[in-house]
Amino acid sequence: MKIVIATSNAHKVQEFRAMLEPLGHSVVSAGEMGGMPPVDEDGSTFEENAAKKACQAALAFHCPVMADDSGLEVIALGGEPGVLSARYAGEGGNDGRNLAKLLGKLQGMEDRRARFVCAIALADAQGRLQGCVRGEVQGHMADAPRGKEGFGYDPAFVPQGYEQTFGELPPQVKNRLSHRARALEQAIRQFFPDAPRGAREGNRQEEA
Ligand code: ITT
């Protein structure tokens, strides 16, 4: 099956490809469809923003699309940076500045619990929302960034049950247990019930 992913984030596309291609699906990026239309991500939830991205991209591309809105929630900061994860350090910010700002706020704090959240929405070719699912991975924030894998806040996020950060763990491990993997597994089950089984099962089979 051909799945169009409405995102301008190349790292997300790479992860969707790594999770979906072993299952026999091909991933088409927004870039290959002519580029993401501008979307004002002003929703107060990941679900609202994922739905906006999916519906607006489907209208622009004239085909069904899936969109991902995701981010990090730090418990002791009341869920910050949340839906503002990509823009935490303000205009002109980037992954490095966002992470530096967050680790600065967490300096000396004992409670470092955090979770990554991913909402995946599906829109039909007429831009109508078909559904939205959510995946989460719990963990905690390291004191300082470690590792070069992944993107965004990965170098400082240690998933529950591990000692390494997503920046240190091999991508196959992140793609098995991440918020995106968990949302995608549900998305496939809910949106494409006749498709091959979800990403996590698929990756497990691949590794077996
Ligand atoms: P699109 O809106 O075009 O999809 P984006 O990067 O702006 O691209 P979001 O609005 O969903 O996407 O913001 C996601 C941000 O949350 C991302 O820039 C990272 O800072 C963080 N994030 C999300 N998933 C992550 C992951 O798997 N690893 C590390 N950081 C992640």
The candidate with the shortest Cα–Cα distance to 122, out of 70, 179, 58, is: 58
In the reported structure, the alpha carbon of residue 117 is separated from the centroid of ligand 1 by a whole-number distance in angstroms of 10
CA 93, 95, 101, 106: dihedral to nearest 10 degrees?
Answer: 160
Kindly indicate the confidence band of residue 92, based on its pLDDT and cuts at 50, 70 and 90. Answer: confident
Backbone angles phi, psi at 5, to 5 degrees: -105, 115
CA 12–ligand 1 middle distance (angstroms)? 8
Q: Is 184 helix (H, G, I), strand (E, B) or coil?
A: helix
Looking at every residue in the chain, the average pLDDT score rounds to: 93
Query: Which pLDDT score is estimated for 159?
Result: 98
pLDDT of residue 205: 40
Mean pLDDT of 20-39: 95
Residue 194: which pLDDT band, with cuts at 50, 70 and 90? confident
Q: Which ligand 1 atom sits nearest the alpha carbon of residue 71?
A: 16
Rounded-to-integer distance, Cα 17 and Cα 104, Å: 33
> Mind telling me the catalytic residues?
69
Confidence (pLDDT) at 198:
54
Weakest mean pLDDT among 55-59, 62-66, 91-95, 180-184: 91-95
Q: What is the pLDDT of residues 96-138, one digit of tens each?
A: 999 999 999 999 999 999 999 999 999 999 999 999 999 999 9
User: If you measure from the C-alpha of residue 85 to the centroid of ligand 1, how many angstroms do you get, rounded to a whole number?
Assistant: 7
Q: What is the pLDDT of residue 93?
A: 86
* Pocket, ligand 1, Cβ cutoff 6 A: 7-9, 12, 36, 41, 53, 68-72, 85-86, 95, 98, 116, 150-154, 178, 180
Task: State which of 5, 8, 9, 39 you would mutate to test the pocket of ligand 1, scoring each by most atoms of that ligand within 8 A of its C-beta.
Answer: 9
What does the pLDDT read at residue 195? 78
Residues of the chain with pLDDT > 70, as a percent, come to: 94
Mean pLDDT over residues 51-77, rounded?
98
- Checking if the pLDDT of 201 tops 80, the result is no
Q: Compute CA distances 180 → 70, 127, 134, 188, whole Å.
A: 8, 23, 8, 12
Report the pLDDT averaged over residues 57-62. 97
